[in-house]
Amino acid sequence: DAEITQSPRHKITETGRQVTLACHQTWNHNNMFWYRQDLGHGLRLIHYSYGVHDTNKGEVSDGYSVSRSNTEDLPLTLESAASSQTSVYFCASSESKGDYGYTFGSGTRLTVV
Amino acid sequence: GEDVEQSLFLSVREGDSSVINCTYTDSSSTYLYWYKQEPGAGLQLLTYIFSNMDMKQDQRLTVLLNKKDKHLSLRIADTQTGDSAIYFCAESMAGGFKTIFGAGTRLFVKA
């Protein structure tokens, strides 16, 4: 069965370290998205991609970067982790056509100490 | 700019109907969605409605759209304890593309 997987599920890192969160989907979806979820804010869009080599900034992109070298993967990198980036991160994917909405991964809980 | 607003909490008794409300600001939104999030899990698409529709029914779920007031609601009939979760309203200009989410409504179902 097709799926979207995120790794790791939990991570603790120190302030200033570079961290990469992985997202891998086997749906063959063109579109991939990274959101962070914080209490009271819901989901906020960090970065998104509509295809290989395409990346776009979302509303809270500062301090984050992504690259899309193939259809399946969209890794999210925190260049220098800050305590404000402690959050739950969700990856999602979708088709370019159709109205099926997003398929979400199970999330990565990141704690920056 | 784009914004989606929802109340944060709703408590109902088992067997009653639940109504979760949402307002959005972008009149060009074409797709409106309801997602469900259970503890420790990602969001799961429950249902969606096109902006040219007023109502959509899917088993226990009824979605109502008032495009004039930019108001969307989700009614869950015969609410069960398994319906306890966070429900997110979301809007998108095109299906599958960038989607704006509300903060989520936490539904508590009392036995």
Please report the pLDDT score of residue A99 as a whole number. 64
Residue A104 pLDDT:
95
From the list B70, B75, B82, the residue with the least C-alpha distance to B58 is B75
The pLDDT tens digits for A28-71 are 999 999 999 998 788 999 999 999 999 999 999 999 999 999 99
The amino acid sitting at B60 is: R
Q: pLDDT confidence of A97, banded at 50, 70, 90?
A: low
Q: What is the pLDDT of residue B1?
A: 56
Report the residue of chain B nearest A6, measured CA to CA: B42
C-alpha to C-alpha distance for B72 and B65, rounded to whole angstroms: 5
pLDDT digits (tens, 9 = 90+) for B13-69: 999 999 999 999 887 778 899 999 998 899 999 999 988 899 999 999 999 999 999
At residue B85, the 3 state secondary structure works out as strand
Residue B58: list chain A partners with CB under 8 A: none
Please answer yes or no on whether B33 and A101 come within 8 Å at the CB atom: yes
Give the pLDDT of residue A17. 98
Residue of chain B minimizing CA distance to A89 = B42
Residues of B in contact with A105 (CB under 8 A): 42
Q: Which chain B residue's Cα is nearest to A93?
A: B96
- Find the largest Cα–Cα distance for chain B: 41
Looking at the complex, report in whole angstroms how far the Cα of residue B16 sits from the nearest Cα belonging to chain A. 26
The pLDDT of residue A11: 98
Q: Quote the mean pLDDT of chain A.
A: 94
Percent residues over pLDDT 90 in chain A? 87
A55: tokens are: 């990346």
CA–CA gap between residue A48 and residue B100 (Å, rounded): 12
**Up-side HSE of residue B98: CA atoms within 13 Å toward CB?**
14
* Contact criterion met (CB < 8 Å) for A101 and B44: no
* C-alpha distance from A103 to closest chain B C-alpha (Å): 7
CB contact under 8 A, B88 and A97: no
pLDDT given for residue A98 in this prediction: 61
